[in-house]
Structure 1
Amino acid sequence: MSVSLSSSPASSPVSLPLTRRLAHLGDRWLPRLVLSPTVFASLLFVYGFIAFTAYLSLTESRLMPNYSFAGLEQYNALFDLDRWWVSAANLGIFGGLFILICLITGLLLAVFLDQKIRIEGALRAIYLYPMALSFIVTGAAWKWILNPGLGLEKMLHDWGYTQFSMDWLVDSDMAIYTVVIAGVWQSSGFVMALFLAGLRGVDDSIIKAAMVDGASLPTIYRKIVIPALRPVFFSVLLVLSHIAIKSFDLVMALTAGGPGTSSDVPAIFMYQFSFTRGQLGLGAASAMMMLMTVLAVLVPLIYLETKEAGRAR
């Protein structure tokens, strides 16, 4: 009995190219089909609502959306409010100190742990633990710690240090700095982890060559190691700037924007005017100003990093 090989589908000169074409089309379009729902949802629920908020900021919307175009009326009203400028100034104070202190503290902790001490694992876990907490929990904990009637001040008074005073939480001039303390406590461990990962990625041969040439350890870190961490600095600045600008839950849990409006920030301003005071258009205008602040931080950083990467190539 004989078997005809020409009748086999696998050897058909027509079916083989067709199968390859179908496989090629599958490889080309299947990832797009899988990702298309996510892309569509992102376009709708992120960029679509940004565009909707931008339009609301140009209308006379109050308790409910009003789609009648009003130009820059809401922005003019926003800039005439003293509370807006107080919240913007508080954001500058909080954001500047928060980012600076987190950078310095995180870098110093990373350099310390990079010395390969014996209890590195335990210390790393301790420093990273606050990042596992939500900002609501952090704000509530520091509200108890800094409360003059039951926190750090009362404890030291009970120990006999009656002259000690730590009433920043109820002092309108110092309340915003309590937010800085709580924010730094939570985020500096995360910054440390990023810098430590960057330090462990630096080539040891460069450091050993510098030590052979007689360079001291501080000089090696200052002139070789830290300049090599430019991408890490870029990532840390992006993350910390994002945390600072959207600081709502931490401030609400710790000071609720008080005393008065002394620790108010734009995120609280936007929430209260949009959802509790029936000023939807004004809240949308403040939200767009927050977006402009984010872009004012991100665009220069991205441009500088892209330009530096182009020079490196």
Structure 2
Amino acid sequence: MSASTRMSSRLAAWLPRLVVAPSLLVVIVAVYLFILWTGLISVTSSKFVPTYDFVGLEQYVRLWATPRWHTAVANLFIFSALFLALSTGLGLLMAILLDQNIRAEGALRAIYLYPMALSFIVTGTAWKWIMNPGLGIQRVVNDLGWTDFRFDWITNPDMAIYTVVVAGVWQSSGFAMAIFLAGLRGIDNSVIKAAQIEGATLPLIYRQIIIPMLRPAMLSVIVLLSYIAIKSFDLVLALTNGGPGTATELPSTFMFSATFRRNQMGVGAASAVMMLMTVAAIIIPYLYSELREKNDG
């Protein structure tokens, strides 16, 4: 083998690594290195600027002693439960409807997927206008003659968290639909035909055969939507800014407020670590189950 041939072979072997190396370096520095740095800050007494004096779990104790953090955690449970249930349910329903080979399927699919093209900032701003009692739904209905109609959830501390749910579901249900539709299109039609020959109705086929076969898609949707729910920040910031009061405070907005508004960097870092642990508690079992299925297969 000539020297030029050996050089070409080595270049061909190393070229993919050289192309990927800059992106990999950015990920290592911007993601993993800063995760470690955040964990380090969470065990120091950092306030306005970082300090590196070890104080153990003091910041975590302060975090869990803060009523505002308890409000944020409670809101996260409410938002996550409703967001997951509604987005998954609506996404599955829309996917099943589109799987029936209806007319104008392409147009309907584009309409359902359109919210995915928008950022959460745009979604939050749009729904802020829609739910504003002086501009949106309430104003329109009042102008039509129903002067007693009230839709002031966004200004009501008891209902404001549900406005975040509505906006989030509108944004993400199309995403769930796309994953479920891909799963449905991957199921052999002979399964449905065989069940119909046996006398099974279409609702029964979907409930007992098709939907159980969508387990991988269902797990993917739940994991991804859970991640979106936990890290939700821009949607809340644009829609309610955490208000009224702390009615729509979430861990992500608490972290931002503690770090940049109240000069409690250590507490903010501790809340970020708690969010990371929550995400890890969801993703790690999912990855373990996927790897186990591949090894068993």
TM range (shorter): over 0.9
Larger Cα Rg: Structure 1 or Structure 2? 1
* Counterpart position of 1:118: 103
Q: Residues 208-287 of structure 1 correspond to what in structure 2 (within 5 A)?
A: 208-287=193-272
Verify: 1:184 aligned to 2:184, yes or no.
no
Q: In the alignment, what sits opposite 1:5?
A: none
CA distance in 1, matches of 2:216, 2:8: 40
The one-letter amino acid paired with 1:188 is: S
Cα deviation for residue 37 of structure 1 reads 2.1
The match for 2:79 among 84, 94, 101 is 94
SS of 1:263 mapped into structure 2: coil
Q: Kindly report the root-mean-square deviation, in angstroms, between the aligned alpha carbons of the 2 structures.
A: 1.6
Name the structure 2 match of 1:200.
185
Tell me by how many angstroms 1:108 deviates.
0.2
Structure 1, 135-144 or 104-113: larger mean CA deviation: 135-144
Identical-residue share of aligned pairs (%): 57
Quote the offset at 1:99 in angstroms: 0.8
Range 47-56 or range 121-130, more displaced:
121-130
Among 49, 60, 64, the alignment partner of 1:64 is 49
Match in the other structure for 1:300? 285
Selected match of 1:30 from 4, 9, 15:
15
Deviation at 1:208, TM superposition (A): 1.5
What code does the residue aligned with 1:109 have? M
Distance in 2 separating the partners of 1:194 and 1:105: 12
Q: Secondary structure at the match of 1:295?
A: helix
Letter in 2 for 1:85: H
Distance in 2 (CA, whole Å) between partners of 1:297 and 1:58 is 24
Q: CA deviation at 1:26?
A: 3.1
Structure 1, unmatched stretches of 5+, are: 1-15
Q: Aligned partners of 1:25, 1:50: CA distance in 2, in Å?
A: 35
Output the TM-score relative to the length of structure 2.
0.95
Aligned residues: 297
Say if 1:266 and 1:290, in contact at 8 Å, map to a contact too. Answer: yes
Distance in structure 1 (CA, Å) of the matches to 2:27 and 2:124: 31
Cα distance in structure 2, aligned partners of 1:42 and 1:139? 29
How far does residue 205 in structure 1 lie from its aligned partner after superposition? 1.6
Name the aligned partner's letter for residue 49 of structure 1: F
Amino acid at match of 2:84: I
Secondary structure of the corresponding residue to residue 112 of structure 1: helix
Contact 1:109 1:192 in 2 (8 A): yes
CA distance in 2 between counterparts of 1:20 and 1:133 reads: 50
CA contact (8 A) 1:234 1:305 kept: no
Q: Which runs of 4+ in 1 moved over 6 A?
A: none
Residue type of the alignment partner of 1:292: M
If the length of structure 1 is used for normalisation, what is the TM-score? 0.90
Tell whether 2:93 aligns with 1:108: yes
Query: Helix, strand or coil: the match of 1:44?
Result: helix
Partner of 2:134: 149
Q: How far apart in 2 are the matches of 1:211 and 1:268?
A: 51
Deviation at 1:163, TM superposition (A): 3.2
